[in-house]
Amino acid sequence: TLQQAINNYPGEALTGVMPGIALAELWQMMANVEGLLRLISVLVMLASILGLATMLLASIRERYPEVSLFRSIGVSSHALLLSIEAEAILIAISGTVLGLCFTAVGAWLSQPWLSQNYGLYISANPLSGNMMIFICALMIATALVALIPAIKLYRAAKNPLR
């Protein structure tokens, strides 16, 4: 009733705002923005995984002489498949570690400025529960997508006449 009385006050052009409702609307809007940012990060992750698969497929053509050499010294086709999988996972792990380090350093360096100028506190620890789920999904997706070039190399190693 107080808000209604302030809004209808004829002596001044006043507007009554209820902080609880205004903050609830703000957090709802921020939740929508956060969801959009998560969607963008998933799309970036998918694009990078497909880029990794493309890079591995392109590099396999250049590796056929190496594969022939490895096969001639007795390396099994399974070992070649596992080496491609390991390479893809190592690339994903190194990219993830570098990204987390840059994020932590960026948050740590910007904390004083953000808190002083905007009153925002950002944690310098980028490893949250959701981030761990995202990283696990990234590693599983990398391993699955890397199977495409790994199986191609496996088949080439099994049948060297291709």
Helix segments in the chain, DSSP class H: 2-7, 19-72, 77-117, 129-158
pLDDT digits (tens, 9 = 90+) for 46-95: 998 889 888 888 888 888 888 888 888 888 888 888 988 998 899 999 99
Q: For residue 39, give the nearest of 27, 50, 31 by alpha carbon.
A: 31
Residue 159's φ and ψ, nearest 5 degrees, are -125, 90
For the whole prediction, is pTM greater than 0.75? no
Q: Are 158 and 77 in contact (CB under 8 A)?
A: yes
